[in-house]
Amino acid sequence: MPLLQGKKVLIFGVANEKSIAWAIARAFHEQGAELAITYAGEAIEKRVRPLAESVSAAAVLPCNVTSDDDINAVFAELGKRWDGIDIIIHAVAFANKEELKGTIVNTTREGFATAMDISVYSLLGILKAAQPMMQGRNAAALTLTYHGAVKVFPSYNVMGVAKAALEASVRYLSEALGPEGIRVNAISAGPIRTLAASGVNGFIHILNHVESKAPLRRTITQEDVARSAVYLCSELASGVTGEIHYVDGGYNVIGL
Ligand code: NAD
């Protein structure tokens, strides 16, 4: 029997076919899940809609996560179609390009707030709105983080600070929502060429370094992440919450 048969899954973060969220959508579809997919704006909708149709998504909805109205509208709409939500995927992050080069000293107050709002608060805002539809059904939420939360990587700057806050949020959310049977975890993915990654100045150097140093001597793929996402969101991980699970070819264990 497929691992996610009949599970209702809401996905934030599909921008194109290279998005990690898209690999997760496909893997979950293969495991029998029913999907709802959101997109950040009209320009992105053109790419997302055909992808969503190819996995027979039950709903394709707009959601700019900086807007509480947008977030609430997603759940109001899903409430009409579904009796609840079993899984939420949060694969959303943003920082201004100017702040993903040079050093963190260049960060502006506004840029800091933007990175924290879109990349961190959005998880809290989404789960706050989702809670009534997730409680009492052994639900799971999963977000995406990066090792730049705990170690310094060139140009990652304010996004490293945001990922540290995101990882702390996962721990606090796991405690807050655990009594309702909602598990909250993160995958810390190794570097992958995506739209978001292309915003980080010199990303290719990080990619090449990881490829030569990681125990598996390769970079990881979106599909590597998606397979671990199936595990973390399925009954196979029924006792796992508040966890930051590395899917990085082992890079994080290397000292030198
Ligand atoms: P991506 O560009 O495909 O995904 C980022 C998503 O964030 C996009 O779908 C974009 O539309 C969405 N987004 C940005 N601002 C938004 C807003 N205001 N409202 C709603 N959505 C918004 O890139 P990705 O690499 O698949 O990124 C997904 C997640 O994985 C991010 O959290 C990223 O930090 C994380 N991650 C990526 C890597 C990597 O190397 N690619 C490594 C570790 C973690």
Cα(171)–Cα(179) distance, integer angstroms: 14
Determine if ligand 1 sits within 6 Å of the CB of residue 48: no
Task: Give the model confidence (pLDDT) of 170-188 as tens digits.
Answer: 999 999 999 999 999 999 9
Task: Give the model confidence (pLDDT) of 83-103 as tens digits.
Answer: 999 999 999 999 999 999 999
Catalytic entry in 39, 146, 246, 251: 146
Distance from residue 52's CA to the centre of ligand 1 (Å): 17
Is residue 235 scored above 90 in pLDDT? yes
Is residue 1 scored above 90 in pLDDT? no
Is residue 131 scored above 90 in pLDDT? yes
Domain with residues 8-247, CATH architecture: 3-Layer(aba) Sandwich (3.40)
Task: Give the model confidence (pLDDT) of 50-70 as tens digits.
Answer: 999 999 999 999 999 999 999
Task: Give the model confidence (pLDDT) of 132-165 as tens digits.
Answer: 999 999 999 999 999 999 999 999 999 999 999 9
Task: Give the model confidence (pLDDT) of 199-215 as tens digits.
Answer: 999 999 999 999 999 99
Token pair belonging to 73: 């509208």
Looking at residue 84, its pLDDT comes to 98
Atom of ligand 1 nearest to the CA of 143: 32
The DSSP annotation for 188-256 comes to EEPP--SHHHHTSTTHHHHHHHHHHHSTTSS---HHHHHHHHHHHHSGGGTT--S-EEEESTTGGG---
- pLDDT average, residue stretch 72-79: 98
Is residue 254 scored above 90 in pLDDT? yes
156 is catalytic: yes
Tokens 């490293």 map to which residue? 160
Band of residue 256 on the pLDDT scale cut at 50, 70, 90: confident
Band of residue 123 on the pLDDT scale cut at 50, 70, 90: very high
Cα(133)–Cα(84) distance, integer angstroms: 5
251 is catalytic: no
Looking at residue 206, its pLDDT comes to 94
Do the Cβ atoms of 21 and 55 come closer than 8 Å? no
Residue 109 CB neighbour total at 10 angstroms: 7
ipTM above 0.85, yes or no: yes
Is residue 20 scored above 90 in pLDDT? yes
Cα(108)–Cα(116) distance, integer angstroms: 12
> What average pLDDT does the chain have?
97
Determine if ligand 1 sits within 6 Å of the CB of residue 65: yes
Cα(209)–Cα(206) distance, integer angstroms: 5
Distance from residue 119's CA to the centre of ligand 1 (Å): 8
Q: Where are the domains of the chain?
A: 8-247
